[in-house]
Structure 1
Amino acid sequence: MTIDAIDTDENALLAARGQGVPVAFQGVVKEFGSTRVLHGVDLDIRPGEFLSLLGPSGCGKTTLLRILAGLEQATSGVVRIDGADVSTVPTNRRDLGMVFQAYSLFPHLTVQQNAAFGLERRRVAKVEAARRALDALRLVGLEHLADRYPHQLSGGQQQRVALARAIVTEPRVLLLDEPLSALDAKVRVQLRDEIRALQLRLGITTVFVTHDQEEALAVSDRIAVMDAGRIEQIGTPEDLYLHPATPGVAAFVGLSSIVPAVARSGFVEVLGTRAPILGDAVDGSVEAFVRPENVRLGGSVLGTVVESTFLGSMRRSVVRVETADGSAALVRVQHAASERLEVGERVTLSVDAVPVVVRPRGA
């Protein structure tokens, strides 16, 4: 049974659905000794929003989540949940649900007992806790496994139990710290979609930490892209992909070829095409970030195929070309699966005249 098929009146968690609460970071700084890992982060998360913190390892996204959870203390700055300053409030009084990469289930407790654990810690009567735990398990599709133990479950099932345990207390905010990274690819896609569906039905404000851009793009209302302890850009998945504010965002969100080009007066000449520049205009020798879906087979630019990969509904090939200044570049092109290219084959390319991000060459 899918979550959409569950009757709201028959499930206490769905019946209690709210509109979510706002979360805010105001000038949050975090230092470990002499090393500053967060540089005055300001971030407003809307009620009921699914916001992802996206960035490479070491960018500060997990530290920011742990500060929200109360597992780390900010060096300075304020954290607010529903308008109240919780910067010094202990974790167990912040009313949060948390799911981490490690499932952290109690091996000696059944699935239902694991799901009910948070309720019993809050001194909810055992009968009521058991009933509400079954409601939570029903939402993640595991009520039929309530009497099993964690070692009898797959990785995906164990993470669903961890999710049920996180939502059973009806927290104000749900925190997800790379909860899918330990799962295989197919299960990861299935569970991420289930998490999103569950979040939408419950209306809970959710903060999701991931280094996987595909995950973030698939499930988020908005994404905050982080690098070196700062937020580089925040926006919808479409905004970040189509209008990256910086070369760093363009490089991290989506797939791009970095191609030598020449910029002048707000435009860039790249592989024979004059395209508008996204963001700050620069003049002179630059590198342009060209998306593979904006490159076409056929045109005036001659190149040699060095790689071609079949991806089911399409192919993605890499073509080595020589640019106008005599330098070489590897250009990815996305094309029909029926257009089979062989390594070493000579082809021609063209680039669509769509806006692109550029950076000074060698930056």
Structure 2
Amino acid sequence: MIDYAFDTTADLSKVSSQNTYDKVEIITCDSEEEEAQVISLIIKNEGSENVSFFISNQLLATRVECLLEQNNIEDYPYITLLLYSIEVLTSNWNSVELLSLLKHTLVTFGYTREEYSKILSEFEIEILRNFSISDLEGIINIINKHKKVKYKKDILIIINKLKEIYNPLLDMMNYSIFEVATAHLQCVDMLSDSHFNNEFMTHFLTACKDIKIKCSLELYRKILTLFLKKHLSPKANNLSLHKNKVVIITDFNEAPKNSFLNSLMGDVQEEQGYFLYTLYNLFCARKIYVTRSLNHRKSILLQRIEMLFQTKQPYRDWLKMLNTPEYVLPCMQPTPTPNTESLAS
């Protein structure tokens, strides 16, 4: 069947359309978002060690990686806390970055989640939204002057704790990157309600240990971000991996510049032949998944493959089942009831 698909001179009308051969599964998705969900579902089900994943669309690759990383419940909150905690300083205590940190799931400063949410809500509405503040001292002065703050005492406790936690890091001027990273991790440990022992941060500290260059907080933030991107970003696939049991080929379209086909196929006939030879080898795997989205036009080769193989798409059906809630709670349409003073104005 694969020979028929790749032989563009073969007459496909002679092949039975009722073929039940299930080696190749073509999955056409409504959007790139759905395509990313389908791909991540296949990788989880087949096992990442058994799958070769070929992709050239960086946005799609990032979406797939994010979906796969969500399985790592231990790492994801810690990684975001690492970034939020340093961005508060490099943004000069910007209210958005400050709230992102304070609202993080690992940060409660010893309060119950319900009580902490009430405190933060008042802090956001009464202080941060009403005043332009550039440092912690300014926040403390405004809170002390504000008379309508119900949780004034609790807000001051949180801000003072935050100030105490960050003091060692604020003093890191003209220190090495290893010293800055060590102080930052100590801050994160004090901010979080849980203790983490992440292997990738151990590698990061080890890599920084012998670097003697002095490091500002802004430079440290950039280095940390680059390190985390390298740790979390999709790994580039090598075409020699086609011997894996399962192969996923994405961007199987004809028009876009970033498509799998156009990224390998050139104008020279020799390059086209090499591409088709490589692609043919990929189709020798035990199972092949070809994914594409409706946003782009099908390639001629994909049209031939679709004619030879049934178009069952169990993974799309499973995805719809997973995304369908068990029950839907109806919600009444809100009915605004403004007072007479508002209507008059």
* Fold shared per TM-score above 0.5: no
TM range (shorter): under 0.3
Q: What is the TM-score when the length of structure 1 is the normalising length?
A: 0.22
Q: Which has the higher strand share?
A: 1
Q: What is the TM-score when the length of structure 2 is the normalising length?
A: 0.23
Which protein is bigger by CA-based radius of gyration? 2
Name the structure, 1 or 2, with higher relative contact order (CA <8 Å, separation 6+): 2
